[in-house]
Amino acid sequence: MTVDTKLPYEKEYISNYSADRNEPEWMKSLRLRALELVDTLPMPKPEKTNITKWNFDKFKHQSEGKKLDSLNDLPEDIQVFLDKENKNSNLVIQRNQSLAYQSLDNSLQEKGVILTDLSTALEKHSELVQRYYMKDAVAIDENRLTALHTALMNGGLFVYVPKNVVVEEPLQAIFWQEDPEVATFNHVIVVAEENSSLTYVENYISHNEQEEAVANIVTEVIAMDNASISFGAVDNFAKGTTVYVNRRGVAYRDASIDWALGQMNDGNTASENITHLIGDNSHSEAKTVTVGRGDQSQNFTAKIVHFGKQSEGYILQHGVMKDNASSIFNGIGKIEHGAAKSNAEQESRVLMLSKGARGDANPILLIDEDDVTAGHAASVGRVDPIQLYYLMSRGISQKEAERLIIHGFLAPVVNEIPITAVREQLTQVIEGKVY
Amino acid sequence: MAGSTLEIKDLHVSIEGGEILKGVNLTIKGGEFHAVMGPNGTGKSTLASAIMGHPKYEVTKGSILLDGEDVLEMEVDERAKAGLFLAMQYPSEISGVTNSDFLRSSINAQREEGDEISLMKFIKEMDKSMDELEMDKNMAQRYLNEGFSGGEKKRNEILQLMMLKPAIGILDEIDSGLDIDALKVVAKGINSLRNETFGCLMITHYQRLLDYITPDYVHVMMKGRVVKSGGPELAQRLEAEGYDWIKKELGIEDATVENA
Ligand SMILES: Nc1ncnc2c1ncn2[C@@H]1O[C@H](COP(=O)(O)OP(=O)(O)OP(=O)(O)O)[C@@H](O)[C@H]1O
Ligand SMILES: [Mg+2]
């Protein structure tokens, strides 16, 4: 491909950046290898959305953030995401690229649970991180953006739950891009070892209405044999940020990975959420909600690939589109040869609130095995006038009736978000975007 | 206050261009129970829907007044707030909205801002009404009418009626789909509302309902009009003899609305 925006980042810059952060040698060489690949690889090509004109190359790469002495110093609109129910005992807050706050319950620490920023993890658990970093889930050379991500990674998180450890309380991360121009090259790794389980919820927040910024995020989620991971997210990047977010899961035998993603960005977004069901009897549910508004263009690919026998995959995408927003929903179930007795279901539903909006639901089944079950459903529609009439006939105003119908439409996903505060917050964000 | 008066005068209603109601006249006062009967397809539900303001029904002529106020000028929600209630023949299903959230929004919609019903009081009232209607408490947390059986939907309509306490209640075939025991329970609920501030119009095909809820007036609709009115004895005669004698009396061959 032709790239007229040659990266302003050279080998030397990357080497220095890595050295400044005291990174292990393997990380530095991985970055440099990725940098060489950047200009040889094509951009990702999400189905039916042309992202070639989107800004992924112009950004400020570095920006520090101050430590938080107290959670009370957080702005109000971030405080609301905090998990007060669990006294914020398992929480990491990243401010720009710096670790601003960190807590992890003592008993979990004793059991060997790790919840820390990636930089610290590289320092303290270099081998463990290396074992998973761009290995089993995402590859550095998948496309130009994954290579760019690897070269310029500037933040992230490492979550690790050892064998047989069950973490009941949710683990939470807040990634706050306070500097309106800084890029988010965040890398999150979540690993649940054999027979372990965890719930993780992350929030991305920025406020750059005017300033242009880029988010290029890779998240790798690994569930070893019989492990289960519940992964929740509310993405809330402001209008100025162009987002590429790649969330990838790998589930081994009897493992499960369930996603509940609130994709509430205000800028152009390409989101790829792919889960590989490697092991027999593995399971994944991928549920996403989005509200599109303004002129934003978004592409959401949710894909579950079945390798293991008797693996179960269920995709549910719900979107509400208003103004001139346009969104493509690709729900892809792929069953590989040998994945006998597997089941793949996809459902994509889009609710249109205005004439200028565009929504496109594409459930896709790709099946290479005979002995399977699969199903899909899709719909694109408007608020049903008869439902409105019914609600209004009880005195409910048109606006409130629409609100109820929209919340009801999004409820199947919103209700899956694990932390109550985050779920309520997602509801608020939806409220703010719809009206 | 003595109760409200709903006056329907020379009401003509069209749907997708075809005229269905061809001049209906009817007055319902607080304290009165009216029954509307008539063969299938004669315009009974159309009348109910036009009163409530269903988006598909167009009033082409005539008027509907509630205590002198022009109902046809009001939006659907304003009609409800003015005191009208329609228990629908086919209530909508709304996914993701719990029955209880819906009910609370409905009650609060009829109250002033800042004077919303407290959650405790709401739950108490809902529990009480659900007990009276012998409804399973789980229905409160289920999504509105979603997957409800025919009879459960009807009970749920009456639950709303009992909690919203309108001035005029219109019940469209509230007895259809109810088993005999359920019919008694629902009738008891409706009867509990009987007083001079509540007027009621019941659309039904069967005397059975009227055995439990005795009407003061019975009207028969044919061809988009009220063709005969009388007391409770009229319903009994219809039950015994059917509609043929009225048709003969009025020289009607086909009672249904003939669309243009
Ligand atoms: N949406 C519609 N489109 C076309 N015609 C309609 C529509 N709704 C009602 N009609 C027609 O209007 C006429 C009256 O219907 P209505 O539902 O008022 O009858 P009804 O008296 O309530 O009958 P039933 O006893 O069967 O409930 C019927 O011929 C019906 O087919
Ligand atoms: Mg009818």
Check whether A3 has a pLDDT greater than 50.
no
Q: Is B93 a domain residue?
A: yes
Number of domains forming the structure of chain B:
1
Contacts of B52 in chain A (CB under 8 A): 389, 393
Q: What is the pLDDT of residue B142?
A: 96
Which among B53, B46, B6, B73 has a CA at the least distance from the CA of B226?
B46
Q: Is B255 a domain residue?
A: no
The nearest CA of chain B is from the CA of A382 a distance in Å of 14
Q: Which of residues 1-60 of B touch A (CB under 8 A)?
A: 52-55
Q: Is B130 a domain residue?
A: yes
Q: Is B72 a domain residue?
A: yes
DSSP A66: P
Instruction: Kindly report, residue by residue over A200-243, the tens digit of the pLDDT.
Output: 999 999 999 999 999 999 999 999 999 999 999 999 999 999 99
DSSP A58: -
How far, CA to CA in Å, does A321 sit from each of A433, B110, B161, B183? 10, 30, 35, 44
**Which residue in B54, B55, B109 is closest to A395 by CB distance?**
B109
Beta partners for A376? A346
Q: Is B256 a domain residue?
A: no
Q: Is B258 a domain residue?
A: no
Instruction: Kindly report, residue by residue over B38-62, the tens digit of the pLDDT.
Output: 999 999 999 999 999 999 999 999 9
Q: Is B56 a domain residue?
A: yes
Check whether A17 has a pLDDT greater than 90.
yes
Beta partners for B24? B11
**Helix (H) or strand (E) run with residue A210 in it:** none
Q: Report the phi/psi class of residue A145: left, alpha or beta, with left for phi > 0 and alpha for psi in -120 to 50.
A: alpha
B97 in contact with chain A, both atoms CB, cutoff 8 A: yes
Give the residue-averaged pLDDT of A374-393.
Answer: 95
| C-alpha B94 – ligand 2 centre gap (Å) | 21
Q: CB pairs under 8 A, 24+ apart, for A12-16?
A: A14/A151, A14/A152
**Which residue in B96, B101, B109 is closest to A394 by CB distance?**
B109
Q: Is A395 in contact with B110 (Cβ distance < 8 A)?
A: yes
Q: What is the pLDDT of residue A125?
A: 97
Residues with CB under 6 A from ligand 1: B 15-16, 20, 38, 40-46, 56, 89, 256-257
| C-alpha A242 – ligand 2 centre gap (Å) | 54
Exposed/middle/buried for residue A300 (C-beta within 10 Å: 0-12, 13-18, 19+): buried
Q: Is A395 in contact with B53 (Cβ distance < 8 A)?
A: no
Q: What is the pLDDT of residue A1?
A: 38
Contacts of B55 in chain A (CB under 8 A): 385-386, 388-389
Distance CA A297, CA A326 (A): 5
**Which residue in B81, B85, B94 is closest to A408 by CB distance?**
B94
The edge-to-edge listing of strands for the beta sheet with A283-292 is A98-103, A91-95, A171-177, A197-206, A228-236, A256-263, A283-292, A312-321, A343-352, A373-382
Check whether A5 has a pLDDT greater than 70.
no
pLDDT averaged over chain B? 94
A397 in contact with chain B, both atoms CB, cutoff 8 A: yes
Percent of chain B with pLDDT over 90: 91
Q: What is the pLDDT of residue A418?
A: 84
Question: Is the Cβ–Cβ distance between B168 and B84 less than 8 Å?
Answer: yes
Distance CA A237, CA A261 (A): 14
Q: Which residues contact A390 (CB under 8 A, 6 or more apart)?
A: B88, B91, B92, B94
Which among A263, A272, A285, A159 has a CA at the least distance from the CA of A217?
A272
Beta partners for A172? A91, A201
Question: Is the Cβ–Cβ distance between A334 and A378 less than 8 Å?
Answer: no
Check whether A9 has a pLDDT greater than 90.
no
Q: What is the pLDDT of residue A7?
A: 66
**What is the number of alpha carbons within 13 Å of residue B54 lying toward its C-beta?**
21
Amino acid at A214: V
Give the residue-averaged pLDDT of A143-151.
Answer: 97
Q: What is the ipTM of this complex?
A: 0.96
Q: CB pairs under 8 A, 24+ apart, for B137-140?
A: B139/B99, B140/B98, B140/B99, B140/B100, B140/B103
Q: Is B47 a domain residue?
A: yes
Distance CA A269, CA A48 (A): 13
If you count residue pairs, one on A and one on B, with CB atoms under 8 Å apart, how many are there? 84
Q: What is the pLDDT of residue B259?
A: 57
Q: How confident is the model at residue A406 (pLDDT cuts 50, 70, 90)?
A: very high
Contacts of B74 in chain A (CB under 8 A): none
- Record the pTM: 0.86
Task: Give the dihedral sign, CA B100/B102/B103/B107.
Answer: positive
Q: Which of residues 149-168 of B touch A (CB under 8 A)?
A: 160, 164
DSSP A60: B
The nearest CA of chain B is from the CA of A392 a distance in Å of 5
B86 in contact with chain A, both atoms CB, cutoff 8 A: yes
Q: Is A397 in contact with B54 (Cβ distance < 8 A)?
A: no
Distance CA A278, CA A339 (A): 9
B113 in contact with chain A, both atoms CB, cutoff 8 A: no
Which among B151, B150, B125, B152 has a CA at the least distance from the CA of B139?
B152
Question: Is the Cβ–Cβ distance between A102 and A117 less than 8 Å?
Answer: yes
A217: which 2 tokens? 């995020």
Check whether A359 has a pLDDT greater than 80.
yes
Q: What is the pLDDT of residue A4?
A: 46
How far, CA to CA in Å, does A187 sit from each of A97, A133, A134, A282, A284? 11, 9, 10, 25, 22
Instruction: Kindly report, residue by residue over A109-136, the tens digit of the pLDDT.
Output: 999 999 999 999 999 999 999 999 999 9
Distance CA B191, CA B173 (A): 16
Residue B172: nearest ligand to its CA? 2
B148 in contact with chain A, both atoms CB, cutoff 8 A: no
Q: What is the pLDDT of residue B255?
A: 87
Check whether A6 has a pLDDT greater than 90.
no
Contacts of B95 in chain A (CB under 8 A): 408-409, 411-412
Distance CA A349, CA A329 (A): 9
Domain that holds residue B99: 5-250
Instruction: Kindly report, residue by residue over B92-121, the tens digit of the pLDDT.
Output: 999 999 999 999 999 999 998 889 999 999
Q: What is the pLDDT of residue B1?
A: 54
A379 in contact with chain B, both atoms CB, cutoff 8 A: no
Give pLDDT tens digits along chain B (260 positions). 579 999 999 999 999 989 999 999 999 999 999 999 999 999 999 999 999 999 999 999 999 999 999 999 999 999 999 999 999 999 999 999 999 999 999 999 999 888 999 999 999 999 999 999 999 999 999 999 999 999 999 999 999 999 999 999 999 999 998 999 999 999 999 999 999 999 999 999 999 999 999 999 999 999 999 999 999 999 999 999 999 999 999 998 888 887 54
Q: Is A390 in contact with B79 (Cβ distance < 8 A)?
A: no
Runs of H (alpha helix) within chain B: 44-52, 76-82, 99-109, 119-132, 150-164, 180-191, 207-212, 232-241, 244-250
The nearest CA of chain B is from the CA of A404 a distance in Å of 7
Q: What is the pLDDT of residue A2?
A: 40
Q: What is the pLDDT of residue B141?
A: 95
Distance CA B189, CA B196 (A): 16
| C-alpha B45 – ligand 1 centre gap (Å) | 7
Name the closest-CA residue to atom 4, ligand 1. Answer: B15
A349 in contact with chain B, both atoms CB, cutoff 8 A: no
B114 in contact with chain A, both atoms CB, cutoff 8 A: no
Contacts of B45 in chain A (CB under 8 A): none
Q: Closest ligand 1 atom to the C-alpha of B89?
A: 27
Give the residue-averaged pLDDT of A7-36.
Answer: 94
To the nearest 10 degrees (0 to 180), the angle between helices A385-392 and A398-414 is 110
Q: Report the phi/psi class of residue A325: left, alpha or beta, with left for phi > 0 and alpha for psi in -120 to 50.
A: beta
The CATH number of residue B213's host domain is 3.40.50.300
Contacts of A400 in chain B (CB under 8 A): 105, 109
DSSP per position, A133-166: TTSSS--TTSSHHHHHHHHH--EEEEEEE-TT-B
B88 in contact with chain A, both atoms CB, cutoff 8 A: yes
A78: which 2 tokens? 């971030």
